[in-house]
Amino acid sequence: MRQMRSNTGRGRRPEHTWQTLGRLLRYTFANSRTMWVVSIVSIIVAALSSSLGSKFIQTLIDSYIMPLTKEATPNFAPLIQAIAIMAAIYYTGAFATAIFSQIQVIIGQRVQKQIRDEMFTHMQTLPMSYFDRNDIGDIMSRYTNDVDTLMQMISQSIPTFIQSLFMMTFVLIMMILISPLLTVLSLAVLGLSIILVRVLFSRSSRYFTAQQKALGTVNGYAEEILNGLKVVKVFSHEEAVQKQFNEYNQSLRNDSAKANAYATMVFPIMGNMSNLLYVLTAVLGGTLAINHTITLTLGGLAAFLQLSRGFTQPVAQISQQVNSIIMALAGAERIFGLLDEKPEGDEGTVTLTNTKKDAAGNLVPTKEHTETWSWQVPGDPVKLVPVKGAVEFKDVNFSYYPGVQILHDINLTAKAGEKVAFVGATGAGKTTITSMINRFYDIDSGTITYDGIDIRQIKKTDLRRSLAIVLQETNLFTDTIMDNIRMGNLDATDDQVIAAAKLANADEFIQELPKGYQTVIEGDGSDLSQGQRQLLSIARAAVADPPVMIMDEATASIDTRTERAVQSGMDNLMKDRTTFVIAHRLSTIFNSDLIIVLDQGRIVEQGNHEQLMANHGEYYQLYTGSLVLE
């Protein structure tokens, strides 16, 4: 079993960390500037309140508690007022923390929605070549894993990182105000802590990266096996795939164990460093104060001890959040990579419009749905060219990748209303030619004309609206049968949908379903037979009512009996339309007006059935069975 391409890129570090971070911050600030300002101010207030609260212990002990010990009749009122002030400081910090926590969640949700909206919108503008280069699972991971880690970074990692920075700064200032000498001692212990934390996080980060890649492998393999479970069972490969899954899962376990082993050591070590600093400060500070080496009151020592406990914790938090931010930036880079993909170009100016005849008998554009279509060619005056469906290839060459040519000097003419069939072995270029007509890909050289108009001059949306495709693989959506057929024309009425279903011979089986046309399809129509799904695909094409049809091996996956019903529906649909048919079963295309025989991207024969049979060439061999299509 192959490893899915979607695993690549998961868990990796960003290649352009600072550029990605800057772009992300500009992106998030664009629509949430005021919220960010309020959030950062709240973070500063929360950090300042915490450090001021610890510093206030010095005042509380020296100015209120110690004097009370010397009074015969203590007056506790000033002490109560001081405690109230201290409580107000801490409550202010708690309130500020609640504010920025809620704001960051809102910002994160807003960014998450905006990015997903933009990705989905932009994705639909990308050329088909992008989806050829990128696995669907890899694209989906940007909507899920990458967006989720990005939101976590915005809502948690960034505010925690900023708060820890300000906390360290404010605590350091307070410590210096109390005792510069003891602050130097704290910085020395901090330096040792940073060295240890850096080593631990360096190793844990490496294994966390490996863990993410291993997780992607496990998920991708599980998805692949689920999709191909029938194949696994048919060939009794359960033990083999179980063994492969166990290997991937064991690799994930090993990487995860090592990553968490190093990561979980950080806080115990920092906690012990904090305890060590606390003891050293107490012993050294007390000794120096007793020996009058430094001026340090009991309240100052108590406050300093409290501050020193809160000095090492931000170091561990910063290191942890940096790791999370880097991982999130890797996802952001992949998201921006998708958003930066160049959209499908469209230089066309010719549009498709419904037309009708005015009182003088001239064609004029109309918003009404008529059975008459015209190409609207810009100019002075605007020119209307009736859509007849005549398609011509002239010296067409094409390559998916530079240096790997797929089509060579393709010349063919499909007259309006003709049925043109393509015959050839797998990889001969049959589907590629039809992909040229709707401009899923653009040709390297030559021209393709549609009713005498170069298709490059026609807007792609209008060009594709004039075409309908029935594929071998039918894609149905989780919706009613009525709306699945209506995908061919979202403006179609219920009566038009039913008429299209009758044309495609799908109405009979639809009426037998529990809720008829309102039956909801789930799981890509897994409850329907392949033939029924194909009839719905034909009905979808019929409701679009296009002048040109493309049938890409539409009957290849169904039995002979079902094929007759499907073929009858296709014949109804192809009537009076220019149709391009790709089929392995030559019995379905012998009545074609033009049969094109392809071999390795070249046309080797063309003509109708009688002409090709009389030539005794490759088509003759295929039809008589002396040459087998592969």
Q: Once rounded to an integer, what is the mean pLDDT over residues 364-372? A: 79
DSSP assignment of 527-562, as one string?
Answer: TS-HHHHHHHHHHHHHHH--SEEEEESTTTTS-HHH
Supply the pLDDT for residue 409.
93
Strands 445-450 and 419-423 come out as: unpaired
SS3 366: strand
Tell me the C-alpha distance between 467 and 25, whole Å. Answer: 44
Supply the pLDDT for residue 556.
56
**135-138: long-range contacts, CB 8 A cutoff, minimum separation 24:** 135/4, 135/5, 135/6, 136/6, 137/4, 137/5, 137/6, 137/7, 137/220, 137/223, 138/4, 138/5, 138/6, 138/7, 138/8, 138/9
Q: pLDDT-based confidence at 96, cuts 50/70/90? A: very high
Q: pLDDT-based confidence at 9, cuts 50/70/90? A: very low
Angle at 254 between CA 252 and CA 258, to 5 degrees: 115
In contact, 503 and 555? CB cutoff 8 Å: no
Q: Which domains does the chain have, with CATH numbers?
A: 12-339 (1.20.1560.10), 473-545 (3.40.50.300)
Supply the pLDDT for residue 555.
61
Supply the pLDDT for residue 628.
46
pLDDT digits (tens, 9 = 90+) for 462-474: 998 888 888 777 7
φ/ψ of 54, rounded to 5, equals -70, -40
Q: Which tokens go with 372? A: 């008459």
Supply the pLDDT for residue 262.
74
Looking at the predicted structure, is the pLDDT value of residue 15 above 70? no
Looking at the predicted structure, is the pLDDT value of residue 374 above 70? yes
pLDDT over 90 for what percent of the chain?
Answer: 21
Q: Which tokens go with 199? A: 């080593």
Looking at the predicted structure, is the pLDDT value of residue 11 above 50? no
Supply the pLDDT for residue 231.
78
Supply the pLDDT for residue 504.
82
SS3 296: coil
pLDDT digits (tens, 9 = 90+) for 32-52: 889 999 999 999 999 999 889
Supply the pLDDT for residue 457.
93
SS3 436: helix
DSSP assignment of 253-288, as one string?
Answer: HHHHHHHHHHHHHHHHHHHHHHHHHHHHHHHHHHHH
Q: Once rounded to an integer, what is the mean pLDDT over residues 321-335? A: 81
Q: Which tokens go with 409? A: 């000097």
Looking at the predicted structure, is the pLDDT value of residue 383 above 70? yes
Supply the pLDDT for residue 514.
86
Looking at the predicted structure, is the pLDDT value of residue 382 above 90? no
Interacting residues of 305 by C-beta distance below 8 A, sequence separation 6+: 278, 281, 282, 285
Supply the pLDDT for residue 178.
86
- 247 or 401, greater pLDDT: 247
pLDDT over 70 for what percent of the chain?
Answer: 91
Supply the pLDDT for residue 528.
83
Supply the pLDDT for residue 455.
93
Looking at the predicted structure, is the pLDDT value of residue 557 above 70? no
Supply the pLDDT for residue 534.
83
Average the pLDDT over each of 167-171, 237-241, 308-312, 421-425 and give the range with the smallest value: 308-312
Q: pLDDT-based confidence at 412, cuts 50/70/90? A: very high
Q: pLDDT-based confidence at 195, cuts 50/70/90? A: confident
Supply the pLDDT for residue 120.
92
Supply the pLDDT for residue 549.
87
Tell me the C-alpha distance between 429 and 434, whole Å. Answer: 9
CB atoms within 10 A of CB 610: 9
Q: pLDDT-based confidence at 565, cuts 50/70/90? A: low
Looking at the predicted structure, is the pLDDT value of residue 3 above 70? no
- 230 or 392, greater pLDDT: 392
Q: pLDDT-based confidence at 292, cuts 50/70/90? A: low
pLDDT digits (tens, 9 = 90+) for 97-133: 999 999 999 998 988 899 999 999 999 888 888 887 7
Q: pLDDT-based confidence at 390, cuts 50/70/90? A: very high
Instruction: Please report, as a single letter, which amino acid is at residue 212.
Output: Q
pLDDT digits (tens, 9 = 90+) for 463-516: 988 888 887 777 888 889 999 999 888 888 899 899 888 888 888 889 998 889
- 205 or 158, greater pLDDT: 158
Q: Once rounded to an integer, what is the mean pLDDT over residues 385-391? A: 90
The pLDDT mean for the chain works out to 83
